[in-house]
Structure 1
Amino acid sequence: MNLGEKVLQALKKEITQKEFEHYIRNLSYDAEASRSDLAVFYAPNIYSARWIRTNYAASIAHLIEMENGVKPEVEIRVGNGPRRFAPSNQSAEPSKSSKNVHLNPSFLFESFIVGSSNQFAYTTAKSVAEKPGRQYNPLFIYGGVGLGKTHLLQAIGNYRLGFGDRVIYTTLEQFMNKYISHVKSQTMDRFREHFRECDLLLIDDIQFLSRKEQTQEEFFHTFNELHQAGKQIVMTSDRQPKKIAGLVDRLRSRFEWGLMTDIQPPELETKIAIIQKKCELDGIHLDKEIVHYIATHMGDNIREIEGTIIRLNAMSTMLNQPITLEFAQNAIKDQIKEKQENVSIDDIVRIVSAELNVKPSDIKSKKRTRNVVNARRIVIYLARNLTPNSMPQIALYFGMKDHTAISHAMKKINEIVENDENFKVLLEELSNKVGTATKQTDS
């Protein structure tokens, strides 16, 4: 046992079992990189590294000083490290949670950005992680693509791994492929043992059970075995159980036994927070106006937004250019153009009229009352920025003689944006609502 492992063993006696399992067990010591004045450890992700650095680094340094008489600087890096920390009893059995788990270590509750659109889903997922198999069993999380369902699902799994639970995470497709493979090889006993002897079963994209009669039959029995044994089941889907076509009634009713919670498309503030967090983690600097531009123009698919940020940073590095607003606009213009083609001026009128309490017919009329003019200008501005329509086409929509009136409206609203931060926020919120509403209509 090397110095680092001795120290972690000693630390184990000073902290709770929960703390040790959740944070310290996952540390690995790098003996080659360490010196008498420097102790290097590896944590599996940035969140664990930060927590350990803040809460345990001083204790680790003190324990090392007690071992060799020199108090070192403790450095917590992110990565796998040269070897994992193991308990002193080297002949002991491997942790029962170590088998057949493929979780993303960055999918933690600490890294999930919470907003009004996902608050309930986050709270219930955290509750299940803390007290599995108690009250919300099964937990059924549903919502659109890229909104964070898989993140919450795996956060539950990562949390329970810290307690030594046997966790199985699988997509429905993987479950089905394993089932078919074991049927062909006549090894169904091994299949059933694998999925039924766990403490926590996490199933992603359960909607693909649709019309898979044999797989449904097998999953029905797996579900029953686990539920009767008090084991926790968590599933995600892009829709509610009652909307999954071709799902047998007895499975549908079981999916509804526990608790169903949805994740809605994120509001503007949540998207901004997610972008800022992603930039912080990846060491990317984006000005506030760029963050707002991405948040208001890139829709509500969080995975897509994160991919856009990575792409911007890669292009900036390869071209050796700073990420300015103009740079960002040019880099993602094709993505935005594709989204614009799905937005109509009618969509914008409908949403703006509802938000500002102005009749759609008034917006399209010649009325000049203050609230109507304000709403009309906003529609024109959003139509110019969120649709592929040219100024003459927008003028034609409003029955105007030519595009000069549209140009004047754009100039006026840009002046207001420059001087009124509240109005700018309103435009961003309306832009976000248009993108969200049209995406829901398409789906």
Structure 2
Amino acid sequence: MTLGLRGHEEWDRIKKRLRAELGEDVFSSWFARVDLEAHNDGIVHLSVPTRFLKNWIQSKYRDRLLGLCQDEFGMVQQIEFSVRSAIRPSNGAEAPQGAGERSVDLRPITVPPTRPSPTVVLSEPRSDSREDVLAGSPLDPRYSFATFVEGRSNSLAFAAARRVADTKPGEPVAFNPLYLHAAVGLGKTHLLQAIAHAAKAAGRKVLYLTAEHFMYRFVAALKSQSAIQFKDALRGIDLLLIDDMQFLQGKQIQQEFCHTLNSLIDGARQVVVAADRPPVELETLDERVRSRLAGGLLVEVQQPDLDLRRRIVGARVTAAVKTYPALTVTPAVVDYVAENVVSSGRDLDGAVNRLVAHNQLTGEPISVEMAEVALRDLLRVREPKKVKIEDIQRIVSKHYNVSKADLLSARRTRTVVRPRQIAMYLAKTLTPRSLPEIGRRFGNRDHTTVLHAVRKIEELVGADRVLADEVDLLKRMLDG
């Protein structure tokens, strides 16, 4: 079957199901720019604007996408992806009818007769153009300063981001790098992409990359023997934004990032980085990278308070009404969601998306009663407090009246050894840090020393009720 009105209707239904399942944010980021090109002979031809987007969809959503196509189109065995405006390498294959320049050499997702899941075999067209080198991660057009909801918990981060975005080419860089850190879902990515949109609109050369995308591009450049061009292109931009820095891995990649960071900062080019924790806690990063990142402006985005949560929900409802004009959400529902979904702004987005999906798919009016049922797994969900080793050292030092310097020192007196062992024990039981990482944070001690301390305190706690009560008290203090 060739593509026709019915094919478009089926594709529209697939997109509607994806939007309802994944939420507006995820759908807009990854599927809003996926187009249906053709459907014939059991093959669905889809196109995307970038190779990165193609790779991401294939790695994260290929099985679900194939299942939806099989539901809507019937007998679908393959999905072929193409990158719009890319050039097809010479391999003798014909482009889908009407696809024109959209086709590239991308071998299909195939479902073997004996297996329920498809096998993906794909080849990457090689491109060494400067434009391709500087192709960044996808930007969500909704992530702008105009759509960011400001409150007490994020006002400093918002102001710093605006200052960076408003800096004109040639003007002195106010603070470099700007480092934003926060737990998941508190607006770091929104701010970084807002900076990218505003700076691009002002004519600056901007590159926004996730750490994963940076690693992918660097490895691809090495494989294609275009690493020098990749490095030169990176160092010729005005503004570099790196998201999810905690995922940057690999010694060679970190070294190259450090060189790029130094080159840009020394050349008065702006760098903005976001991560889920401050540089000192990114133990997997090279020490030189952590030191350079810590030398800029560090801003933490806090959890939203009730007033900010209420305004976030209101803003998301207003945006939903533009898509569904007949949608009605009462102030009571807005208050209910804001008071009970307290973990992050992203969960608030998900709550609104879920209510809208229930309304559109079932026709049930959005009410507090409906919200209680639809959002029961989100209500009053609180992320466990993230305990830091610095907090453990501070509270243990204060409780036992020893200095932090003593905890990190080589002193072996009983008044210092026992608190040090308790602090190491708490670090191992209350944080995800490894034994070597904990050892480094306690005066560069060997991991066997930490292991001995942990086992010693475990033994004592089982036999000494007074010590067990002290350790429980310290845990409550850290959790408070």
- TM-score, normalized by length of structure 1? 0.53
Once the two structures are TM-superposed, the CA of residue 136 in structure 1 deviates from its matched residue by 1.0
Once the two structures are TM-superposed, the CA of residue 441 in structure 1 deviates from its matched residue by 5.6
The within-5 A match list for 1:206-225 is 206-209=245-248, 212-225=250-263
Name the residue aligned to 1:275: 313
Once the two structures are TM-superposed, the CA of residue 321 in structure 1 deviates from its matched residue by 1.4
Q: Quickly say closer, same or farther: Cα 1:107–1:247, change in 2 above 3 A.
A: same
Contact 1:168/1:200 (<8 A) preserved? yes
Once the two structures are TM-superposed, the CA of residue 319 in structure 1 deviates from its matched residue by 1.2
Q: Deviations over 1:12-50 (max 9, x none)?
A: xxxxxxxxxxxxxxxxxxxxxxxxxxxxxxxxxxxxxxx
Name the residue aligned to 1:70: none
Once the two structures are TM-superposed, the CA of residue 201 in structure 1 deviates from its matched residue by 0.5
Q: Quickly say closer, same or farther: Cα 1:227–1:144, change in 2 above 3 A.
A: same
Name the residue aligned to 1:124: 160
Q: Which amino acid aligns with 2:193?
A: Q
Q: Which amino acid aligns with 1:238?
A: D
- The one of 202, 223, 228 equivalent to 2:266 is 228
Q: How many residue pairs were aligned? A: 251
Describe the SS at the equivalent of 1:141: strand
Q: Quickly say closer, same or farther: Cα 1:330–1:184, change in 2 above 3 A.
A: same
Stretches of structure 2 lacking an aligned partner (at least 5 in a row): 1-130, 322-326, 386-475
The within-5 A match list for 1:77-96 is none
Q: Which amino acid aligns with 2:364?
A: Q
Once the two structures are TM-superposed, the CA of residue 265 in structure 1 deviates from its matched residue by 0.4
Q: Quickly say closer, same or farther: Cα 1:304–1:310, change in 2 above 3 A.
A: same
Name the residue aligned to 2:297: 259
* 1: CA distance, partners of 2:133 / 2:209: 15
Q: Which amino acid aligns with 2:140?
A: N
Contact 1:138/1:255 (<8 A) preserved? yes
Once the two structures are TM-superposed, the CA of residue 330 in structure 1 deviates from its matched residue by 0.9
- The one of 295, 308, 319 equivalent to 2:351 is 308
The within-5 A match list for 1:6-85 is none
Q: Deviations over 1:356-404 (max 9, x none)?
A: xxxxxxxxxxxxxxxxxxxxxxxxxxxxxxxxxxxxxxxxxxxxxxxxx
Name the residue aligned to 2:337: 294
The within-5 A match list for 1:234-383 is 234-283=272-321, 284-336=327-379, 339=381
* 1: CA distance, partners of 2:234 / 2:383: 45
The within-5 A match list for 1:164-179 is 164-179=203-218
Once the two structures are TM-superposed, the CA of residue 117 in structure 1 deviates from its matched residue by 0.3
Q: Which amino acid aligns with 1:222?
A: T
* 2: CA distance, partners of 1:98 / 1:167: 12
Q: Which amino acid aligns with 1:145?
A: V
Describe the SS at the equivalent of 2:184: coil
Q: Which amino acid aligns with 1:291?
A: V
* 1: CA distance, partners of 2:241 / 2:312: 25
Q: Which amino acid aligns with 1:309?
A: V
* 2: CA distance, partners of 1:99 / 1:142: 25
- The one of 163, 188, 192 equivalent to 1:153 is 192
Q: Quickly say closer, same or farther: Cα 1:97–1:191, change in 2 above 3 A.
A: closer
User: Percent identity of the aligned residues?
Assistant: 35
Name the residue aligned to 1:203: 242
* 2: CA distance, partners of 1:341 / 1:118: 18
Once the two structures are TM-superposed, the CA of residue 341 in structure 1 deviates from its matched residue by 11
Considering Cα pairs closer than 8 Å and 6+ residues apart, tell me whether 1 or 2 has the greater RCO. 1
* 2: CA distance, partners of 1:162 / 1:145: 28
Contact 1:147/1:300 (<8 A) preserved? no
Q: Quickly say closer, same or farther: Cα 1:254–1:331, change in 2 above 3 A.
A: same
Describe the SS at the equivalent of 1:336: coil
* 1: CA distance, partners of 2:288 / 2:246: 15
* 2: CA distance, partners of 1:107 / 1:162: 14
Name the residue aligned to 1:136: 175
* 2: CA distance, partners of 1:266 / 1:335: 16
Q: Quickly say closer, same or farther: Cα 1:191–1:157, change in 2 above 3 A.
A: same
Contact 1:97/1:166 (<8 A) preserved? no
Name the residue aligned to 1:100: 135
* 1: CA distance, partners of 2:479 / 2:370: 31
* 2: CA distance, partners of 1:247 / 1:273: 37
- The one of 74, 97, 113 equivalent to 2:149 is 113
Once the two structures are TM-superposed, the CA of residue 237 in structure 1 deviates from its matched residue by 0.5
Describe the SS at the equivalent of 1:190: helix
Once the two structures are TM-superposed, the CA of residue 148 in structure 1 deviates from its matched residue by 0.4
* 1: CA distance, partners of 2:383 / 2:344: 17
The structure with more helix, counted as a fraction of residues: 1
Describe the SS at the equivalent of 1:242: helix
* 2: CA distance, partners of 1:255 / 1:336: 36
Once the two structures are TM-superposed, the CA of residue 189 in structure 1 deviates from its matched residue by 1.4
* 2: CA distance, partners of 1:179 / 1:277: 38
Describe the SS at the equivalent of 1:111: coil
Once the two structures are TM-superposed, the CA of residue 334 in structure 1 deviates from its matched residue by 3.0
Contact 2:246/2:282 (<8 A) preserved? yes
The within-5 A match list for 1:428-443 is none
- TM-score, normalized by length of structure 2? 0.49
* 1: CA distance, partners of 2:382 / 2:278: 29
Stretches of structure 1 lacking an aligned partner (at least 5 in a row): 1-95, 344-437
Q: Deviations over 1:168-215 (max 9, x none)?
A: 0010011011111222222211221332221110100111225x2111
Q: Quickly say closer, same or farther: Cα 1:441–1:304, change in 2 above 3 A.
A: farther
* 2: CA distance, partners of 1:126 / 1:273: 20
